[in-house]
Amino acid sequence: MEITECKLIDLPKIQDPRGNLSFIEGGKHIPFAVERTYWIYDVPGGQTRGGHAYTNLHECIIALSGSFDVVINNGKETKTISLNRSYYGLYVPPMIWRSLENFSTNSLCLILSSAPYSEDLYIRKYDDFLKQTSGI
């Protein structure tokens, strides 16, 4: 998987003096239908979440509040994307190793996912990921 397949998506933003509003429609603003949503919160300083890849799962990662870094790796290249606006979504396709780091206090990470939770979709060992990306 090319790392350039991970794309920052500029989500709709309705600006209003009463407060802004953003939204997502599955299959329209993000390139997959949403089957599951989960969120990560109350992350203690210095902790890292993620640290795995998915075989066949697409996701969109949003910093609804605060900020954090998404470190993505395709077995060859690594890139760090800082998310700190609730109207940006980071699209991550299958077969990208990703971890979430550097969470600010009170940050809230929303993840939209193309599949229900299943441990079968995870690659949890980086060595296994490297083997699969190099085709060995």
- List residues near ligand TYD by CB under 6 A: 36, 38, 40, 49-50, 52, 117
Q: How far is the CB of 119 from ligand TYD (least distance, A)?
A: 7
Q: Which is nearer to ligand TYD, 16 or 120 (CB)?
A: 120
What are the DSSP calls for the chain, one per residue?
A: --GGGSEEEE--EE--TT--EE---BTTTBSS---EEEEE--PPTT--EEEEEESS--EEEEEEES-EEEEEE-SS-EEEEEE--TTEEEEE-SS-EEEEE-PPTT-EEEEEESS---GGGEE--HHHHHHHHHT-
Q: How far is the CB of 136 from ligand TYD (least distance, A)?
A: 25
Q: How far is the CB of 102 from ligand TYD (least distance, A)?
A: 14
Q: Which is nearer to ligand TYD, 29 or 36 (CB)?
A: 36
